[in-house]
Structure 1
Amino acid sequence: MKRGKVWLAVAGLVIDEDGKWLVVKKKYSGLKGMWSLPAGFVNAGETVDEAVIREVKEETGLHTTIKGIIGVRSGVIQNDISDNMMIFLLENKGISSIEKEEAELWDVQWKSPQELLADEKTSVMVHEMIKRMSSMQKLNLIEGINPGDQFAYTQYRLFL
């Protein structure tokens, strides 16, 4: 899929009842071989919240629901490509058996924040998220709002 020079991606943080984080090791990209959150690009015709639920399911097999947005990562690659990611807090809907996406991932595991901090193969973003967990706030999903028919939205959501 042609992405152009403005990229929009999503990542999902799922924390189990024991406080362990769902992390993946990708087989490609700048995060190859590193523990990171399940993530991927938003496709045409989907909202960011639909995209993160799809990506987590594709990579891990888990069915999740949105708890809120907990962060945004934004950067520019080689002074050219705007690379943006919305980071969601998700809740696992109870199915705990992981189904790894073999084509994309080396591994999928539940790891404690302490394990992730001690592992040199943990991504910088995950390290920074763990350090700030106690002060992390979330923006909640608000549905059922119509901003006006003149915009012709087929879907519209706010996170506040």
Structure 2
Amino acid sequence: MKHKRGNVWLAVAGIVKTVDNRYLVVKKKYGGLKGKWSFPAGFVNEDETIDQAVVREVYEETGIKANPLGIVGLRSGVIKGEVSDNMVLFLLEPLTENIVIQERELSHVAFMTKDELFESPDSSLLLHQIIDQTLAVLPIHNDLNPGNHFGYTSYKLFY
């Protein structure tokens, strides 16, 4: 099976949580999560770090500007024995709350409470698993340089 991203995928998901404990969630119009509440997510582009990708994806899908606090999880699976499908989960704080839905891919975007999401039959498995946990955050350490000989244009550690 040939895929435009090859057979190893790297994606990010943004767990955007407000100070009053509401989560930013979306319903996609396509794919396995069609009609399900899930976190904004998408693939990492070749010219960006994973934290840049999650900020971009959250903004593109929802219009919400957010600050990444760090990594809270990793989802990994193999699709049909052929594709390694990997997603890095980030916790983000919203800088704005004015939703602008990306209508080409999404049918709904909302800030919802944990109780609302647990009561909804449309909530995804991943969403249920994550919002029921106390999240330990691996913060982002920027402005590091392991040596110019590597040629990094961006280098970050999460620990």
TM range (shorter): over 0.9
Instruction: Count how many residue pairs are aligned between Structure 1 and Structure 2.
Output: 157
C-alpha distance in structure 2 between counterparts of 1:111 and 1:56, whole Å: 16
Structure 1 residue runs of 5 or longer lacking an equivalent are none
Instruction: Map 1:91-130; keep pairs closer than 5 Å.
Output: 91-93=93-95, 95-130=96-131
Distance 2:145 2:82 in 1: 35
User: Quick one: distance in 1 between partners of 2:113 and 2:94?
Assistant: 16
Mapping 1:46-61, distance limit 5 Å: 46-61=48-63
Q: Give the CA deviation at 1:146.
A: 0.8
State the secondary structure of the residue aligned to 1:62.
coil
Q: Distance in 2 between matches of 1:154 and 1:67?
A: 21
Q: CA deviation at 1:147?
A: 1.1
CA separation in 2, counterparts of 1:150 and 1:31? 43
User: Which letter maps to 1:9?
Assistant: A
User: Which secondary structure state, in structure 2, belongs to the residue aligned with residue 140 of structure 1?
Assistant: strand
Residues 21-75 of structure 1: per-residue CA shift (max 9 Å, x gap): 0000000110000000000000111110110000000001011111111010000
Moved over 6 A (4+): none
Q: Which amino acid aligns with 1:100?
A: I
Q: What letter matches 2:24 in structure 1?
A: L
TM-score with structure 2 length normalisation? 0.96
**Separation (CA, whole Å) in 2 of partners of 1:91 and 1:20:** 11
**Counterpart position of 1:146:** 145
TM-score, normalising length: structure 1: 0.95
Separation in 2, partners of 1:97, 1:63:
9
In the alignment, structure 1 residue 81 sits paired with structure 2 residue 83: yes
The residue matched to 2:138 in structure 1 has which SS? coil
- Report the equivalent of 1:68: 70
What's the C-alpha RMSD, in Å, of the aligned pairs?
A: 1.1
User: Which residue does 2:36 correspond to in 1?
Assistant: 34
Q: What SS class does the counterpart of residue 87 from structure 1 fall into?
A: strand
Residue-by-residue CA offset, 1:87-123 (whole Å, 9 max, x unaligned) = 0001111x22100001000000111111111111100
> How far is 1:130 from its partner?
1.8
For the residue of structure 2 that corresponds to 1:97, the secondary structure is: coil
- Please give the alpha-carbon distance, in whole angstroms, between the structure 2 residues aligned to 1:152 and 1:53: 24
Match of 2:15 among 13, 18, 23: 13
User: Structure 2 stretches of 5 or more lacking a match?
Assistant: none
